[in-house]
Amino acid sequence: MTAISRNAKFVRENVILHNSFFENSIPLIASENLISPLQREMLNSDFNGRYAEGWPGHRYYQGNEYVDRVELRGIELAKKLFRCNFADLRPISGTVANMAVLFALTSPGETITAPALSDGAHISTARFGAVGFRGLNTVTYPFDSERMTLDIDGTARVLREVRPKVALFGMSLFLFPVPLRELADVFNEVGCTVWYDGAHVLGLIAGGQFQDPLREGAHVISASTHKTFPGPNHGIVLANPKDEEMEKALMRGVFPGVTSNHHLHEMAALCIALDEMSRFGRSYARQIVRNSRALAESLYDRGFGVLAADYGFTASHAVALNVAALGGGSACAELLESANIVVNKNLLPGDKSSQNPSGLRLGTQEVTHLGMKTGDMEEIASFFERLLVKKEDPARVRKDVISFKRGFRKLKYCYGEGYPAYRFERFLR
């Protein structure tokens, strides 16, 4: 038998070190999560590396009998969970799902309306991201940075002025629901297709704890399936298409538009995640929102500049902090990392520099997945205070973080509850 090379060992050792870093850390990145043991089985299967171009039952390659069964079951699960008429499980990420929708519903040279990057939108909806790739122009909505949500009157005005074919909503710093109901009359008047980017909040929508875009005026949802939705790295498109033409356009947008191989192992894991969310989603999502409110409140009580303080801080998994007075987003995020607390710096409304923005973004979905409750959020807030306010030695705080995290290494809200979340499976010695 050939011995494992030094390079291969190096790679594996560093992956294991990464696992162990996260095992000993408090993960608060608002766009990340862990996956269940049954989903991990799917990722390890022969579905990896196969092709199944086309729609189930209408493929271009042979060998897809079982793939088709799985994907059709997943489509049914998605339609049921999100109460919609159309689900496409083939986009391989949220950005790819966005590109598929852009491909389907717009033509180069057109103008769409979208939220602004500095107000918390995602790069894929910006001119230098996927929107620009499609050759589109954007007009952004005015934002109410006190309430951390769209300025409704201003948004209505923009929609009436631009009369876009497609109006895009949804954020990466997503604290409160989009006021879709309030804008419903304007959507009708303008006749636009309403597109909701639910990458961050898909798990909350699935658990019935945020808003229900398809009941509130949206025609299409695109999303990642690995943020609050605790599935594999993948994407999804969900819709109540206006007509058959729109449904066909969405399908063509995904394939051949922006995918070939749709990562069948991830697709199978996504099917499991859809089923798990139909069982465990409600209690999981409810606890996420409880935890984010508790974290925000506890940080606020310790003097942190939590945004939207007059409006309940958050209605999602996310919490936004202004740390300009504590050295800025970059320095604070690095200091937290040195004590094994993982967050990201974030632009806040009014910020100019994305290299040193004034904010931190936190999310409670992953720690909730690991079983944390509101009392644990106070513990986390106290670590923030010790590090960023009291300037305690990070090495000392780190010790306490590691010992705190020992109680949270197993997954909840899935089949095989209690399975070690950070287990690394070695096939070779």
Ligand X SMILES: *Cc1c(COP(=O)(O)O)cnc(C)c1O
Residue with Cβ nearer ligand X (105 or 199): 199
- Upstream peptide bond of 256 is cis (omega within 30 degrees of 0): yes
Residue with Cβ nearer ligand X (95 or 322): 95
Does 94 contact ligand X by CB under 6 A? yes
Q: Any known ligand binding at 206?
A: no
Residue with Cβ nearer ligand X (170 or 281): 170
Does 328 contact ligand X by CB under 6 A? no
8-state DSSP, 215: G
| CA dihedral (383, 285, 144, 198) positive or negative | positive
The SS3 of residue 364 is coil
Give the H or E element holding residue 340. none
Q: Which residue in 235, 269, 206, 291 sits closest to 101, CA to CA?
A: 235
Q: For residue 54, which phi and psi values (nearest 5 degrees)?
A: 100, -170
Q: Any known ligand binding at 41?
A: no
Distance between CA atoms of 376 and 288, rounded to whole angstroms?
Answer: 12
- The correct pick among 122, 134, 262, 263 for binding ligand X (CB under 6 A) is 122
Does 224 contact ligand X by CB under 6 A? yes
The burial class, CB within 10 Å (0-12 / 13-18 / 19+), for 48 is middle
Residue with Cβ nearer ligand X (122 or 345): 122
- The correct pick among 186, 199, 239, 332 for binding ligand X (CB under 6 A) is 199
The burial class, CB within 10 Å (0-12 / 13-18 / 19+), for 395 is exposed
- One symbol per residue from 123 to 142: x for binding ligand X (CB under 6 A), - otherwise; what is it? -x------------------
DSSP H helices, 106-151, are 130-133
> How far apart are CB 296 and ligand X at their closest, in Å?
19
> How far apart are CB 347 and ligand X at their closest, in Å?
13
Sequential DSSP letters for 261-326: S--HHHHHHHHHHHHHHHHHHHHHHHHHHHHHHHHHHHHHHTT-EETTGGGTS-SSSEEEEE-GGG
Instruction: Give yes or no for a contact between 105 and 221, defined as CB atoms under 8 angstroms apart.
Output: no
Residue with Cβ nearer ligand X (255 or 408): 255
Does 200 contact ligand X by CB under 6 A? yes
- One symbol per residue from 348 to 387: x for binding ligand X (CB under 6 A), - otherwise; what is it? ----------------------------------------
Distance between CA atoms of 13 and 9, rounded to whole angstroms?
Answer: 6
Q: Any known ligand binding at 244?
A: yes
Instruction: Give yes or no for a contact between 220 and 54, defined as CB atoms under 8 angstroms apart.
Output: no
By CB under 6 A, how many residues form the interface with ligand X? 15
Does 316 contact ligand X by CB under 6 A? no
> How far apart are CB 272 and ligand X at their closest, in Å?
18
> How far apart are CB 188 and ligand X at their closest, in Å?
25
Residue with Cβ nearer ligand X (173 or 264): 173
- One symbol per residue from 243 to 272: x for binding ligand X (CB under 6 A), - otherwise; what is it? ------------------------------
Q: Any known ligand binding at 262?
A: no
Does 197 contact ligand X by CB under 6 A? yes
The SS3 of residue 182 is helix
Of residues 18-37, which lie at the interface with ligand X (CB under 6 A)? Answer: 31
Does 98 contact ligand X by CB under 6 A? yes
8-state DSSP, 137: E
Give binding residues for (6S)-5,6,7,8-tetrahydrofolate as ranges.
117, 121-123, 244
Which residues of the chain form contacts with ligand X (CB under 6 A)?
A: 31, 93-95, 98, 122, 124, 170-172, 197, 199-200, 224, 235
